[in-house]
Amino acid sequence: MATPVTNPTDEQVDEARAPDPGPGIPEILDEEEACGLLRISPSTAWRLRRARKLGYCKYGARVLYKREHILAFLGAHEIPANSEQPANVLRMVKAS
């Protein structure tokens, strides 16, 4: 005997959805959009891809970026506001 299929409630659907980590950022970005968002040149994006620091997808000759690639890259380079400054940065600030 087959188990009857039931539709999930609205609450179950909301719980299953992952929170949107980047409102306003499209799910898929082309090279121009990703470079504009990160404020880097295409050659810098190429160097970051080559060094495997920025994730990407290839579709033929096109390079595409998922929103999660961009957010992961930014998260990996985040410096929290209350973190200690490295000693060399403090020396540069005092010297000027």
In tens digits, the chain (96 residues) has pLDDT values of 555 656 656 665 455 444 455 566 778 999 999 999 999 999 999 999 999 999 999 989 999 999 899 999 999 988 888 756 665 655 555 555
Give me the pLDDT at residue 18, please.
46
Give me the pLDDT at residue 17, please.
47
Domain membership of residue 14 (yes or no) is no
Q: Could you count the other beta carbons within 10 Å of the beta carbon of residue 65?
A: 24
What are the beta bridge partners of residue 30?
64
Query: Whole-model pTM above 0.75?
Result: no
Domain membership of residue 61 (yes or no) is yes
Domain membership of residue 15 (yes or no) is no
Domain membership of residue 22 (yes or no) is no
Domain membership of residue 10 (yes or no) is no
Domain membership of residue 8 (yes or no) is no
Give me the pLDDT at residue 87, please.
58
**Host domain of residue 54:** 30-78
* Measured torsion, CA atoms of residues 55, 61, 67, 69, in degrees rounded to the nearest 10: 0
User: How many folded domains does the chain comprise?
Assistant: 1
